[in-house]
């Protein structure tokens, strides 16, 4: 049995990770989610250590996406003793913006004002409670998918009437205050093992909601500008607290500064980190190297515990 198995969905996104593992001489099995199945009365884990690389945006690429399948699969492997990095607990948070916001609020951190609904008929009342402008967003998103801004109650009512208002693929939708981001940017804090790894300021013109920093996200959207950021210690500590509370082994936490009052509002947790495009140019180093070193440590720990 190999030391490490990686379950992934996108065929191109993890080429840098696989290349880094190859350079380090780490034995691993890359398992595509497409075509995968398991026996709940069998199917032992393919490795003692498993790394979840399932993207929430996978539903954009296929109606038969693996998001809910992966939740069942990881729980099955965990039940048979495997250590799953970004496993079933983290995936449950990753797959629900409503759960993310509730967790962030429990930590005493600011979030955008939000209402959560499960029927389009309830969007208007939620919008009236929030006020305009607002955004309607799917509970499970990815690369800005399923986010629409509405400036008036009439605009939202028309979208409800014609069925164009977003609804999540899990039947859950958020109605959220439109928060103007200071200087047109958000900050994404990447974490590894619950600790700060690096941060990016990501800026765009207008209301571009797709602010994914990776190369693979850049096709077919307005350009975004990415620069290395140095958040204040209190916001780094807040992002680390969110990552740990979410059970996030690897992933990003995003916040913006509300231009109306200067408050940092956290709004997104993302367990699928492709890391920044052109890392040596933007950061001066490649985070994949640190990820591989971290994975090597987990492999050693699992071997020792066996």
Domain stops at, among 125, 144, 177: 177
Q: Measuring CA to CA, how many Å separate 110 from each of 46, 113, 247?
A: 41, 9, 20
Q: Indicate the pTM of the whole model.
A: 0.93
Strands, E assignment, the chain? 4-8, 28-32, 49-53, 83-85, 114-117, 134-138, 147-150, 173-177, 185-192, 195-203, 225-228, 250-257, 264-270
As given in the structure block, the two tokens for residue 114 are 């939000």
How confident is the model at residue 299, as a pLDDT? 97
130: CATH: 3.30.1490.20
Q: Do 52 and 141 belong together in one domain?
A: no
Judge residue 80's burial from the number of C-beta atoms within 10 Å of its C-beta, 0-12 exposed, 13-18 middle, 19 or more buried: exposed
Q: Determine the Cα–Cα distance for residues 293 and 285; give it in Å rounded to an integer.
A: 14
99: CATH: 3.30.470.20
DSSP 182: G
Q: Do 81 and 128 belong together in one domain?
A: no
Alpha helices in 83-213 (DSSP H): 88-94, 97-106, 123-130, 153-162
Q: Determine the Cα–Cα distance for residues 166 and 163; give it in Å rounded to an integer.
A: 8
Across the range 238-263, mean pLDDT stands at 97
- For 281, the enclosing helix (H) or strand (E) is helix 279-282
Q: 233-248: per-residue pLDDT in tens?
A: 999 999 999 999 999 9
20: CATH: 3.40.50.20
Across the range 8-37, mean pLDDT stands at 95
Q: Do 233 and 128 belong together in one domain?
A: no
Q: Determine the Cα–Cα distance for residues 56 and 95; give it in Å rounded to an integer.
A: 7
CB burial readout 87-102, b (16+ within 10 A) else e:
bbbbbebbbbbbbbbe
Q: 135-187: per-residue pLDDT in tens?
A: 999 999 876 777 999 999 999 999 999 999 998 899 999 999 999 999 999 99
Q: Do 81 and 153 belong together in one domain?
A: no
pLDDT above 50 for 219: no
Q: Do 198 and 247 belong together in one domain?
A: yes
Lowest mean per-residue pLDDT among 39-53, 99-113, 188-202, 219-233: 219-233
As given in the structure block, the two tokens for residue 74 are 């990881």
How confident is the model at residue 220, as a pLDDT? 46
Q: Do 190 and 274 belong together in one domain?
A: yes
Of residues 104, 84, 72, 58, the one with CA closest to residue 246: 104
Contact between 8 and 65 (Cβ < 8 Å): no
As given in the structure block, the two tokens for residue 12 are 């191109």
Question: Containing domain of residue 24, as a range?
Answer: 4-91+287-305
How confident is the model at residue 143, as a pLDDT? 67
Q: Determine the Cα–Cα distance for residues 118 and 131; give it in Å rounded to an integer.
A: 19
pLDDT above 80 for 87: yes
Per the prediction, the chain carries an average pLDDT of 92
pLDDT above 60 for 216: no
Strand partners, 251: 191
DSSP 232: -
Q: Determine the Cα–Cα distance for residues 253 and 268; give it in Å rounded to an integer.
A: 6
Domain stops at, among 126, 151, 177: 177
Q: Determine the Cα–Cα distance for residues 235 and 237; give it in Å rounded to an integer.
A: 5
Q: Do 102 and 219 belong together in one domain?
A: yes
Q: Do 219 and 188 belong together in one domain?
A: yes
pLDDT above 70 for 225: yes
DSSP 72: H
Across the range 278-304, mean pLDDT stands at 94
- Sheet architecture: strand order including 185-192: 225-228, 195-203, 185-192, 250-257, 264-270
Q: Do 21 and 166 belong together in one domain?
A: no
Q: Do 105 and 210 belong together in one domain?
A: yes
Q: How many domains does the chain have?
A: 3
Contact between 266 and 109 (Cβ < 8 Å): yes
Q: Do 136 and 218 belong together in one domain?
A: no
Q: Determine the Cα–Cα distance for residues 199 and 197; give it in Å rounded to an integer.
A: 7
pLDDT above 70 for 209: no
Q: 28-83: per-residue pLDDT in tens?
A: 999 999 999 999 999 999 999 999 999 999 988 888 999 999 999 999 999 999 99
Domain stops at, among 150, 177, 204: 177
Q: Do 193 and 101 belong together in one domain?
A: yes
């Amino acid at each position: 049995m190999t030391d490490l198995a990686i379950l992934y969905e996108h065929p191109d996104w993890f080429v840098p990770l696989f290349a880094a593992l190859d350079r380090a001489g780490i034995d691993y099995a890359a398992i595509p989610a497409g075509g995968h199945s398991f026996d709940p009365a069998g199917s032992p884990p393919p490795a003692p250590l498993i790394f979840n690389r399932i993207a929430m945006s996978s539903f954009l690429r296929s109606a038969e996406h693996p998001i809910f399948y992966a939740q069942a699969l990881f729980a099955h492997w965990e039940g048979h003793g495997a250590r799953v990095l970004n496993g079933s607990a983290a995936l449950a948070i990753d797959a629900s913006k409503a759960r993310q916001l509730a967790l962030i609020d429990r930590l005493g951190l600011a979030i955008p004002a939000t209402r959560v609904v499960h029927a389009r008929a309830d969007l208007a009342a939620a919008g009236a409670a929030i006020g305009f402008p607002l955004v309607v967003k799917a509970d499970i998103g990815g690369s800005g998918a399923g986010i629409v801004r509405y400036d008036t109650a009439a605009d939202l009512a028309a979208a409800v009437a014609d069925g164009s208002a977003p609804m999540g693929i899990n039947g859950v939708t958020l109605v959220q205050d439109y928060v103007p981001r200071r200087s047109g940017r958000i900050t994404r804090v990447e974490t590894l093992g619950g600790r700060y790894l690096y941060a990016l300021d990501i800026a765009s013109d207008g209301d571009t909601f797709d602010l994914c920093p990776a190369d693979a996200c850049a096709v077919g959207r307005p350009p975004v500008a990415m620069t290395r950021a140095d958040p204040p210690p209190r916001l780094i500590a807040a992002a680390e607290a969110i990552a740990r509370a979410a059970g996030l082994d690897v992933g990003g936490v995003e916040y913006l500064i509300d231009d109306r009052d200067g408050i940092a509002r956290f709004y997104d947790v993302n367990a699928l980190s492709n890391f920044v495009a052109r890392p040596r140019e933007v950061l001066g180093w490649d985070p994949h190297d640190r990820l591989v070193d971290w994975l090597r440590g987990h492999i050693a720990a699992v071997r020792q515990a066996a």
